């Protein structure tokens, strides 16, 4: 009969959460070469390329965590398990949303644009009420025209898809920061506990930071 493994010490539990936090935060600085004719996708290609690898590694480590300490029963083990599972689920959901946003952008650029007079930029027609409200300098307008021409898009369409790309990049960045910060907060709590009496109970203050963040998001979404 195989002897039961001893529960993981607090240092290893905190290390597991800290490593996950660093992997998630690394998504924010990921780079991916972008072709000139797809420059509007540059803001999202780095996270989009790095995300699946991070999710896969976190899932692998999570399975190893479960195998190393089957059915964690100590408060510290359950606390770390809840935090890690929340991080993995949140990150997976965020990348599903990012992928959907990128699909939307790709679909948008595949739709034929209506004919426009040569040299017309949407910002020049803002009075019509259908254009974007950004105030571009002459230099910025020239750069937009050049990038749009390279991408085979009208300038206002280029700005539209670039805006969608920037919005998607901002959302995944916010999610990664929240997840990373929550993991680090939970790791610090587990590590600072001299005993195994971490907070477990019915109140919101007894849950890991990531679990409380997820509950708050669900409440806001109602």
Rounded Cα distance, 51 and 68, in Å = 25
Rounded Cα distance, 29 and 219, in Å = 31
Among 213, 210, 171, smallest CA distance to 17 is for: 210
Rounded Cα distance, 218 and 201, in Å = 20
Question: How confident is the model at residue 183, as a pLDDT?
Answer: 95
Is residue 75 scored above 90 in pLDDT? no
Question: How confident is the model at residue 131, as a pLDDT?
Answer: 41
- CA distances 66 to 8, 91, 162, Å, are 11, 19, 42
Evaluate whether 77 touches 68 at the Cβ level (below 8 Å). no
The pTM score is 0.77
179 CB contacts (<8 Å, ≥6 apart)? 21, 24, 87, 90, 91, 94, 210
Q: Report which of residues 133 and 130 the model is more confident about.
A: 133
């Amino acid at each position: 009969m195989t002897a039961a493994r001893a529960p993981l010490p607090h240092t290893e539990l905190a290390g597991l959460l800290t490593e996950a936090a660093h992997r998630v935060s690394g998504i924010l600085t990921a780079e991916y070469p972008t072709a000139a004719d797809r420059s509007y996708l540059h803001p999202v290609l780095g996270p989009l390329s790095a995300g699946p690898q991070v999710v896969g590694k976190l899932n692998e480590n999570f399975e190893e965590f479960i195998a190393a300490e089957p059915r964690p029963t100590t408060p510290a083990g359950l606390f770390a398990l809840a935090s890690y599972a929340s991080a993995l689920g949140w990150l997976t959901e965020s990348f599903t949303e990012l992928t959907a946003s990128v699909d939307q952008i790709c679909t948008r650029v595949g739709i034929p644009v209506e004919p426009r007079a040569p040299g017309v930029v949407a910002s020049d027609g803002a009075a019509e009420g259908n254009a974007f409200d950004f105030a571009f300098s002459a230099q910025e307008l020239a750069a937009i025209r050049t990038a749009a021409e390279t991408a085979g898009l009208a300038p206002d369409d280029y700005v539209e898809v670039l805006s969608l790309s920037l919005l998607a990049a901002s959302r995944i960045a916010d999610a990664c920061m929240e997840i990373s910060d929550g993991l680090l907060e939970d790791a610090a709590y587990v590590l600072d506990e001299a005993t195994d009496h971490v907070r477990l109970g019915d109140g919101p203050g007894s849950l890991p930071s990531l679990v409380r963040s997820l509950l708050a998001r669900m409440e806001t979404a109602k």
